[in-house]
Amino acid sequence: MKALVAMSGGVDSSVAAALMLEAGHEVIGVTLKQWVAPDGSLPTAGCCTVADAEDARKVAARLGIPHYVLDHSAEFTAEVVDRFVAGYAAGLTPNPCIECNRRVRFGALLGRVEPLGCDVLVTGHYARIAMRHGRRALLQAADPTKDQSYVLHMLSAADLARVRFPVGELTKAEVRDHAARLGLGTAAKPDSQDLCFVAGDYRAFLRSRLPEIRRPGAVVDASGAVVGHHDGIAGFTVGQRRGLGMAAGEPRYVVAVDSATATVRVGSRSDLAVAACTVAGVRFVNEAAAAGEPVAVKVRYRSRPVPARLFPVADAWRVVFDAAQEAVAPGQAAVFYRDDEVLGGGTITATEAP
Amino acid sequence: MPLGILVPVLYLDHAATTPLRPEAAAAMAPFLGGEFGNPSGMHAVARRAKNAIEDARDRVAGVLGARALDVVFTGAGTESDNLAVAGVALAEGRRGGVVTTATEHEAVLATARHLERLGCPLTVVPVDGHGVVDPARVAAAVDAGTAVVSVMAANNETGAVQPVAAIAAALAGRGVPVHSDAVQAAVSRPCSLDDLGVDLLTLSAHKLGGPQGVGILAMRPGITLAPVIHGGGQELGRRSGTHNVAGIVGAAAALEAAVTDRKRLIDDVGAARHRFEVDLTRAVPDVVFTIAGADRLVQHSHWRIPGIDAETLLVRLDGIGLAASAGSACHSGAIAASHVLAAMGLAPADAAGCVRFTFGWDTRPEDGTTAAGLVAAAVGGLR
């Protein structure tokens, strides 16, 4: 088998490439040139920087595999960055990493596997692919603390047939041990945290990309009374507590963001409670869920799946939580699980108070 | 450390760099061994190094039709371009204007844009669909404030030959020096100051079979340059920095060898390119040669196959042992959007398909057939 390995320069994709090679496969490494700032500079922070491309090249040289830098900056700008900015402008809390997986890595790049003469696309994601009930299933990683199945929910069973996640069977510690054993310079590299296309403050980035979102507006309470002002809705996220510019007292949280009126609504912690949400653009890995099916739903990257039931509605799915949830933010992905299996997921478009 | 794939390589990226000619390697060998002197010293060790670079300068001057004291050794063709354009525009404290063309190498264009920010007026003359500039338009762009005109002898991506001699003739008597980057053209065309009719001339050693890291700037008498690199005053103050003695010696040997070998190179490379283009057209009839019919360098073949992007094709060719390029690359190795093809009016989608094969001094006539076969194989896997 010939594998196209997406190498970010990090330890996970480096080990993924090495494991494919050790398993006897032919391997080509590629690093995606994703983002070029308007001034022409390349990112220096985040997960896909100039230094990371250099790290990927060094790892590929050490492994003795060809390595190429492929230019996907046009797709990345249009499909990830512009959507991210538009999402915030619409008062949403977008997840650009999911759009990058959907549009770039498992969109454009997956489409290049065959033209580039390869059979499968390999990434360093922590997730597993296995046969369950006679069909190919996407499963949580063996290491629950590193599981990334949430950001991979858009993959179909057909996609999974052409994708491999070699490190998904390992713990992060085991991955670092492999990297050290292989003498890979990335063994001790810290995990990436920042958005790869933003150096520093993402609110400043939003304002620079879309000056019109700098529209000042009101901060209102549950009764609609104006309790403060803001200089633009960009960066206000449901559940946010800090940065509201409000006097001390009872803790206040962002409860809703209305882009049409540039209004940020705040309330107490109990006002964050959500009984149900609408999820659009749902894609199931295999068969669609049954109406009323009990599942576990994860509504943001760093949260645990919680029990809920799924109901199909027009062009979308309604998720009814068994117990009210906090900080369910429109724009984020909701991913449906049955035990450790990803059934599918989509984007939260609306929430309902209890 | 393993050095990548172990398949025989057909190297068709000679415009990026070309193998060291044996004449250059032999000339350099003593200076990579026992002869280590710094030419700026006063003792016997230094003197031998000084004699070596001055002998090299004499030989380069002879080939290019310049006086030895009007030949400057730099660190790259890019540096020679910088020194020619900025050196003339900024000479004697002035902020002189620059006239150049839209398809110049970035070494000239980026320098000209930098100078513009410093107050030197810039005019970029457009080109036609073959990337060729009209001499009359260049002449019309020159005014009393113009300090220097820079037009490349042939384009590094497409191989399109510019009418440099006609431009120089059109500007005769205007008192404005004309510079030409002949880095690619000198591989296969006579490129002395008189051949091109210009006042300043850039060459790069490694495109001619010399070592990487040596540029040449040859000038007519009387040209005054403001230095770009300041320091110890080497090269008559025009380019400070300790000389790259081995490189300079290798550059002179390579230039002489290239001139001696030019007729043979044109025959072999011409035969290889002809066979390549005929065979490729037979195998892939919809192939489009970018500047078919234009005056182009014999070593360049610039083409695309509709529906196939260059990135994909080049990765597949690399996998089967053919090394080539798209002609424009960023430092990471990713293919960069070509300002040359954009200036010629190619649509971005068409430009993204363009591949550059460049043949060189070690190309054999039969390599053209081999290359066409490898491209046909790579394309076959995509259709």
Whether A51 shows a pLDDT value over 80: the answer reads no
The percentage of chain A sitting over the pLDDT mark of 90, rounded to a whole number, equals 60
Smallest CA–CA distance, residue A104 to chain B, in Å, is: 16
| Strand, coil or helix: A151 | helix
Handedness of CA A11, A14, A18, A20 (dihedral sign): positive
Indicate which residue of A48, A97, A196, A277 is catalytic.
Answer: A196
Q: Report all structural domains of chain A as residue ranges with CATH numbers, in order of start.
A: 2-125+165-181 (3.40.50.620), 215-271 (2.30.30)
Tell me which chain A residue has its CA closest to the CA of residue B336.
A71
pLDDT tens per residue, range A295-308: 999 999 888 999 99
Smallest CA–CA distance, residue A27 to chain B, in Å, is: 11
Catalytic-residue membership of B330: yes
The pLDDT of residue B246: 98
Mean pLDDT of B70-90: 98
CA atoms within 13 A on the CB side of B226: 14
Chain A contact set for B5 (CB, 8 A): 66
| Strand, coil or helix: B90 | coil
Whether A98 shows a pLDDT value over 60: the answer reads yes
Tell me how far apart the alpha carbons of residues A136 and A133 are, in angstroms, rounded to a whole number.
8
The pLDDT of residue B7: 58
| From B2, B316, B330, residue closest to A117, measured CB to CB | B316
A68/B315 touch (CB, cutoff 8 Å), yes or no: yes
**Cβ–Cβ under 8 Å, residues A191 and A235:** no
Q: What is the largest CA-CA distance in chain B?
A: 68
Pick the range with the lowest mean pLDDT from A75-79, B104-108, B224-228.
A75-79
A117/B335 touch (CB, cutoff 8 Å), yes or no: no
Mean pLDDT of B358-380: 97
| Residue-by-residue DSSP string for A227-251 | EEEES-STT--TT--TT----SSS-
pLDDT tens per residue, range B201-248: 999 999 999 999 999 999 999 999 999 999 999 999 999 999 999 999
Handedness of CA A147, A152, A158, A159 (dihedral sign): negative
The pLDDT of residue A47: 47
Across-strand partners of A249?
none
Tell me which chain A residue has its CA closest to the CA of residue B2.
A64
Residue of A199 and A136 predicted with greater confidence: A136
CA atoms within 13 A on the CB side of B156: 30
pLDDT tens per residue, range B306-316: 999 999 999 99
- Burial of B118 by CB count in 10 Å (0-12 exposed, 13-18 middle, 19+ buried)? exposed
Q: How many helices, marked H, and strands, marked E, lie in chain B?
A: 13, 12
Domain ranges of chain B: 10-19+261-380, 22-260
Pick the range with the lowest mean pLDDT from A50-59, B143-152, B287-296, B333-342.
A50-59
**Cβ–Cβ under 8 Å, residues B156 and B327:** yes
pLDDT tens per residue, range A182-208: 888 766 676 665 677 776 777 788 888
Tell me how far apart the alpha carbons of residues B73 and B216 are, in angstroms, rounded to a whole number.
5
The pLDDT of residue B328: 77
CA atoms within 13 A on the CB side of B44: 0
CB atoms within 10 A of CB B187: 30
A70/B334 touch (CB, cutoff 8 Å), yes or no: yes
Tell me how far apart the alpha carbons of residues A27 and A9 are, in angstroms, rounded to a whole number.
16
Q: Are strands A263-267 and A306-313 parallel, antiparallel or unpaired?
A: unpaired
pLDDT tens per residue, range B315-356: 999 999 999 999 877 666 777 789 999 999 999 999 999 999
Tell me how far apart the alpha carbons of residues B61 and B34 are, in angstroms, rounded to a whole number.
27
Token pair, residue B336, equals 């960069």
Whether A237 shows a pLDDT value over 90: the answer reads no
B333/A61 touch (CB, cutoff 8 Å), yes or no: no
| First-residue to last-residue Cα distance in chain B | 36
| Strand, coil or helix: A324 | strand
Whether B95 shows a pLDDT value over 70: the answer reads yes
Tell me how far apart the alpha carbons of residues A327 and A339 are, in angstroms, rounded to a whole number.
23
CATH of B10-19+261-380, one of 3.40.50.2000, 3.90.1150.10, 1.20.1250.20, 3.10.180.10: 3.90.1150.10
Tell me which chain B residue has its CA closest to the CA of residue A74.
B337
pLDDT tens per residue, range B35-56: 999 999 999 999 999 999 999 9
The pLDDT of residue A198: 76
CATH topology assigned to domain B22-260: Aspartate Aminotransferase; domain 2 (3.40.640)
Distances (CA, A) of A17 to A192, B321, B334: 18, 22, 20
Smallest CA–CA distance, residue A207 to chain B, in Å, is: 27
Phi/psi for B58 (5° steps) reads -60, -45
SS3 content of chain B, % helix, strand, coil (to 5): 40, 15, 45
Amino acid identity, residue A64?
A: G
Whether B6 shows a pLDDT value over 70: the answer reads no
Which residues lie below 8 Å from residue A45, measured CB to CB, with a gap of 6+? A194, A196, A198, A199, A200
Distance, CA of A232 to chain centre? 25
CB atoms within 10 A of CB B24: 28
Tell me how far apart the alpha carbons of residues A105 and A124 are, in angstroms, rounded to a whole number.
12
A61/B1 touch (CB, cutoff 8 Å), yes or no: yes
